[in-house]
Amino acid sequence: MLVGFIIMFLSMLLFGLPVEEISISERYFPLFCYGQVVTIMYGFTLSYGAMFSKILMVHRLGNITMKNWVQTWKFYAIIGFLIGLDTIIVIIWISVDSLRRSVETFDSIEYVEENIKLRIFMEHCTSHNYELWIGLIYSYKGILLFFGLFLAYESRKIKTKLLNDSRLISMAIYNVAILCFITAPVEIIISSKPDASFAFFAVTVVLSTFLSMGLIFIPKIQYICQVPAYAEEQEVKTSQDTYKERLNALQNENVALRSEIIEAEKKLAEIKQNLNVNLLGDVHFNQQQSSGYDWRFSRGSQIREWLAETGTMLLRIGGGRYLFDRIAQMEALEGDNIGRFFKARNSSSMFLPQEIESDTML
């Protein structure tokens, strides 16, 4: 960013060279024209492109997860891409439609008393399709300005510790965009008035660069002066210790939960085995009449208590729902067996052995 500001100041010097003291021959005048174009394009890209890439990363940080964390090299990749695009435009411009010196003459001014007649002319950098190339560059930079304004507006509520100057960068983008949108059309209109054109251009460069540097770097300088270095190191160390403590606590909790899950799975396997043996087996009704009934339902009460105890333990890890469903099934099955028992008790033929029943029929 600072390199871009320095290049912008250099372009201001190239646009305001005193022609009375420095004269450029027609042979080297195209190089002077390309110097003006390259410095202003690269200066704008490096200064504004740095702010644009940073606000783009802030916007992405507010809309992605930690798995897709933004790497530092992407800042430089965006700036490099913009510089490469500028270079391609300049190379194509030089190859297809090179710049040359153009002279614009004005009406002569005659001073009769001093017997002097002035012939005024102004040198321009031009080409056959100069307006087309300027329009292409203005469009490309204008899209960047509009996109930067959009990102700055969308990121106004995003706060992150890694990029804590996002609001200041947004204000700097607003400053640069507003000044550029005002200066660009005015420069096209007053291009034939060199003094006014240069004054307007210089004021825009000075305001945009100094305001942007003030917004971004003055708070950083104040922080460095107010907060000593050892305090910042201590804060970083404290945050690292806090992260380590939280990590150790989570690891210990994970180990405890794993042991509880293993124990609960063992109990669940035993319960399933008991259910299959005691509840789902087909027990003969005569065994229920003599002694099996009391043992079955007392055993069912024990299993229900065991299920309830284990289900309470498993409920907070997500496995208790199955056990409580099994308890409900047991209670329904127990009620059904009691009904069958009393119904069979009222029927005398159900209690007779097969041999006695056959003798009676004979």
DSSP output for 56-99? HHHHHHTSS-GGGPPPTHHHHHHHHHHHHHHHHHHHHHHHHS--
| 56 and 163 Cβ atoms separated by less than 8 Å | no
Task: List the structure tokens of 149.
Answer: 């304004």
DSSP H helix total and E strand total for the chain = 11, 4
Q: Find tokens 């372009």 and name the residue.
A: 11
Task: List the structure tokens of 222.
Answer: 């104040």
pLDDT in tens, 316-340: 555 445 555 555 555 555 555 444 4
pLDDT > 90 in the chain, percent: 16
Task: List the structure tokens of 273.
Answer: 């085995």
Q: Give 219's contacts (C-beta < 8 A, 6+ positions apart).
A: 165, 168
Q: Is 55 helix (H, G, I), strand (E, B) or coil?
A: helix
Phi/psi for 97 (5° steps) reads: -140, 85
Burial annotation 38-72 (CB, 10 A radius, 16+ → b, else e): bbbbbbbbbbbbbbbbbbbbbbbbeeeeeeeeeee
pLDDT in tens, 11-65: 888 887 766 666 777 788 888 888 888 999 999 999 999 899 888 888 877 766 5
pLDDT in tens, 174-220: 999 999 999 888 888 887 788 888 888 899 999 999 999 888 888 88
Please state, in angstroms and rounded to a whole number, the distance separating the CA atoms of residues 294 and 282.
16
On average, the pLDDT of the chain sits at 74
Q: What is the pTM of this model?
A: 0.59
Q: Look up residue 101 and give its amino acid.
A: R
Mean per-residue pLDDT, 157-171: 75
Q: CA separation (Å) from 190 to 20, 147, 207?
A: 22, 28, 20
The pLDDT value recorded for residue 295 is: 43
**Greater confidence, 266 or 328?**
266
Mean per-residue pLDDT, 221-241: 63
Q: Give 173's contacts (C-beta < 8 A, 6+ positions apart).
A: 48, 51, 52, 55, 148, 149, 152
- 123 Rama sector, left if φ>0, alpha if ψ -120 to 50, beta otherwise: beta
Q: Which residues pair with 111 in a beta bridge?
A: 116
Residue 279 has pLDDT above 90, yes or no: no
Residue 284 has pLDDT above 50, yes or no: no
Please state, in angstroms and rounded to a whole number, the distance separating the CA atoms of residues 51 and 69.
19
What is the distance, to the nearest Å, from the Cα of residue 182 to the centroid of all Cα atoms in its chain? 32
